[in-house]
A = this chain, B = another copy of it.
Amino acid sequence: MTDNDAISTSERKRGSGVKMVYDLLRDEILDLVLPPGSPIDEVQLAERFKMSRTPIREALVRLAGEGLIDTLPNRSTMVSNIDFLNMHTFFDALVLMYRVTTRLAAQYHRIEDLQVIRGHQAEFAAAVAAQDALAMIATNAAFHSAIADAGRNAYFTGLFNRLLDEGRRILRLYYQSYEDRLPQRFVDEHEDIIAVIAARDTEAADRLATIHAEQIVQQIQKLFARGGKLNIAL
């Protein structure tokens, strides 16, 4: 029960309510503020945001469309679970999208894209230097998302961003273990990836992205094998 996210009722612009609820709920789900299985109560949200149930429901329909919440008809709706049993399907998809988007970035990027990518890389390096695990997760995702954008294929960027979101949820479960030496290696690999993209070397981009992605996957799998404790209450 945090205090009010609500704006004085009629101070709000006419279609902004839905987006506000959608964005905030999405963040709370991905940050595990609302852990998997949390019940979503429409009237509670309506009171919290000081609006009627209609815009709340629209936001929920959108979230359900992205698979972030599950709605059983005439029954409660709740934050969707993380499918640990089929985690390998997530890894398969993630590695492939890392490869494909990086390859396409090498092929289709424009010069101005590199500026954006380098900006995210700088933020990622700063997060590593500061040993801020949550910032690492966020800036790493932004870095790779920017690369995907440079590849200019909306179908791939769409799936990739979904995967990065899901990865954000998974990593939140284990982020304390990101304090070892590996992140510095990621920084270096990012630099190499930027270089081959700038050189438009598609094969090298594919190769480096594959290695990089598999390293990340191994990192996560190691955490699972170690049976890492969740540091967020479920």
Contacts and interface: CB of A to CB of B under 8 A. Distances in A.
B155 A163 contact: yes
A152 interface: yes
B153 A89 contact: yes
B86 A154 contact: yes
Contacts of A96: 100
A115 B70 CA distance: 31
Contacts of A14: 73-74
Q: Could you say how many copies of this chain the assembly holds?
A: 2
Contact of A62 (B61, B155, B156): B61
A214 interface: no
Interface string A77-94: 000000000100110110
A112 interface: no
Contacts of A159: 155, 158-159
Nearest to A157: B89
A15 B155 contact: no
Interface string A149-189: 00011111011001100000000000000000000000000
Contacts of A89: 152-156
B58 A153 contact: no
A82 to B, nearest CB: 13
A14 B74 CA distance: 8
A131 interface: no
Nearest to A154: B89
Contacts of A163: 155
Interface of A: 14-15, 54, 57-58, 61-62, 65-66, 73-74, 86, 89-90, 92-93, 96, 100, 104, 152-156, 158-159, 162-163
Given A58-B58, A61-B61, 9 more contacts: A14-B73, A54-B54, A61-B62, A65-B66, A86-B152, A90-B155, A92-B155, A93-B156, A159-B159
18 contacts: A14-B74, A15-B73, A54-B54, A58-B58, A61-B62, A61-B65, A86-B152, A86-B154, A89-B152, A89-B156, A90-B155, A92-B155, A92-B156, A93-B153, A93-B155, A93-B156, A96-B100, A155-B162
